[in-house]
């Protein structure tokens, strides 16, 4: 069980507690996630021509929604895929800053600690990251 798993478990036990929410989302934004990527053949099958040197994440469609798959360890990613697959490591704050609606996230699918993130939740996280980035930049300007 990882620190993120414990925070998610605590969040589920008392979802209305702001401390539990803050702890989980803080860990999420500061963690690194493994995102499965398409190989060259998969990219061509998905219609992504001319992707030389680009990394394309694997997007899974389920129940009419598109999901970006996220895993907090390569072991969990490979267990979900049932084989070793290519992936890219991405910080949680970078995922939040770059994900646009209507994309959903699916965290640690196939484990007892899976979580689905909805577009509104992702937009809220993006806003949090943008505010923190602006505050950090303001602090740097004041120091200089």
Instruction: Per-residue pLDDT tens, the chain, 144 aa: give them.
Output: 999 999 999 999 998 999 999 999 999 999 999 999 997 665 556 565 545 667 899 999 999 999 999 999 999 999 999 999 999 999 999 999 999 999 999 999 999 999 999 999 999 999 999 999 998 888 777 776
What's this model's pTM, rounded to 2 decimal places? 0.87
Domains of the chain (ranges, CATH numbers) = 33-46+53-136 (3.40.1350)
What is the model's pLDDT at position 47? 62
DSSP the chain: --HHHHHHHHHHHSTT-HHHHHHHHHHHHHSEEEEEB--HHHHHHTT--S-TT---B-EEEETTEEEEEEBSSHHHHHHHHTS---EEEEEHHHHHHH--TT-EEEESTTSTT-EEE-HHHHHHHHHHHHHHHHHHHHHHHHH-
What is the model's pLDDT at position 54? 78
């Amino acid at each position: 069980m990882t620190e993120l798993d414990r925070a998610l478990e605590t969040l589920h036990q008392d979802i209305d507690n702001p401390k539990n929410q803050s702890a989980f989302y803080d860990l999420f934004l500061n963690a690194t996630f493994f995102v499965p990527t398409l190989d060259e053949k998969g990219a061509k099958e998905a219609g992504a021509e001319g992707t030389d040197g680009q990394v394309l994440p694997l997007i899974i469609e389920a129940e009419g929604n598109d999901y970006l798959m996220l895993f907090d360890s390569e072991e969990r990613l490979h267990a979900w895929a049932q084989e070793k697959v290519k992936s890219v490591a991405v910080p949680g704050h970078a995922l939040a800053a770059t994900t646009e609606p209507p994309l959903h996230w699916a965290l640690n699918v196939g484990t007892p600690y899976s979580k689905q993130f909805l577009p509104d939740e992702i937009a809220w996280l993006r806003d949090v990251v943008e505010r923190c980035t602006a505050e950090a930049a303001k602090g740097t300007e004041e120091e200089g």
